Amino acid sequence: MKFNDQPIDDTQDALQRLILALKILPGIGPKSAQRMAYYLLQHDRAGALSLGQSLQSAIEVIGHCSRCNSFSEHAVCKTCLDSRRDSKILCIVETPSDQLMVEQTLAFRGLYFVLMGRLSPMEGQGPKELHFERLMARIFDEQIAEHEAVQEVILATNFTSEGEATAHYLGEILKVRGISVSRIARGIPVGGELEYVDAGTLARAMMDRRPIGS
């Protein structure tokens, strides 16, 4: 057995195994894992038991939606089954948490495809690893009625070098195949003051300016 690529000696005591297990969480180092383990054992054993049961249950029942690739307990998630959503617009995001953020804006009523990552040669993440063939099958699904087929793809990957590369790669492929492609805008945040905005963000806002009233 191993956690986070660290082999676990079966002779280690239960406390050490718990600390090593907690270290797999992002941003949790040895000290933080130790504090969490001690807290659960000393102050909230019932909570620890509930946490363990919830994790086991989630691993057993949560898979991926066959249409949008996001997490789902069913073959097709509730979002994809929602007849009120506009099936002609597909928003591509990197992670389920990115999808949730877009949903919370209440500004988008189309459908999604979640890549579960982004192009990153350094991490061994290429088109094959991200299953781009599933995305293309989703966009060009011949079983979908013509009036419900995808007409526009919104690329909502992050504005990191990897996210930009992913958006560029997908944009070029989709445009060649006749799909309208757009990229989410970037610039000054709502309520932001120019004095406190970094130069890169301000430069992009200038380049992405648009006429008033458009």
pLDDT for residue 212 is more than 90: no
Contacts within 8 Å (CB) and 24+ apart, 119-126: 119/162, 119/165, 119/166, 119/169, 120/162, 125/162
**Domain span at 209:** 188-214
The answer on 105 and 169 residing in a single domain is: yes
In which band, very low, low, confident or very high, does the pLDDT at 103 lie, cut at 50, 70 and 90?
very high
The three-state secondary structure class of 181 is: strand
Residue 72, domain member (yes or no)? no
The answer on 168 and 132 residing in a single domain is: yes
The answer on 177 and 91 residing in a single domain is: yes
Residue 114, domain member (yes or no)? yes
Q: Determine the pLDDT at residue 9.
A: 54
pLDDT in tens, 25-83: 999 999 999 999 999 999 999 999 999 999 999 999 999 999 999 999 999 999 999 99
The answer on 142 and 176 residing in a single domain is: yes
Number of domains making up the chain: 3
Q: Which residues pair with 3 in a beta bridge?
A: 6
Specify whether the CB–CB gap between 182 and 125 falls below 8 A.
no
Residue 94, domain member (yes or no)? yes
In which band, very low, low, confident or very high, does the pLDDT at 19 lie, cut at 50, 70 and 90?
very high
Average pLDDT of the chain? 89
The answer on 167 and 92 residing in a single domain is: yes
Q: How far, CA to CA in Å, does 186 sit from each of 46, 61, 182, 207?
A: 45, 37, 13, 10
Q: Determine the pLDDT at residue 18.
A: 94
pLDDT for residue 206 is more than 90: no
The answer on 93 and 118 residing in a single domain is: yes
Q: Determine the pLDDT at residue 120.
A: 94
Residue 100, domain member (yes or no)? yes
Residue 69, domain member (yes or no)? no
Q: pTM (2 decimals)?
A: 0.83
pLDDT for residue 210 is more than 80: no
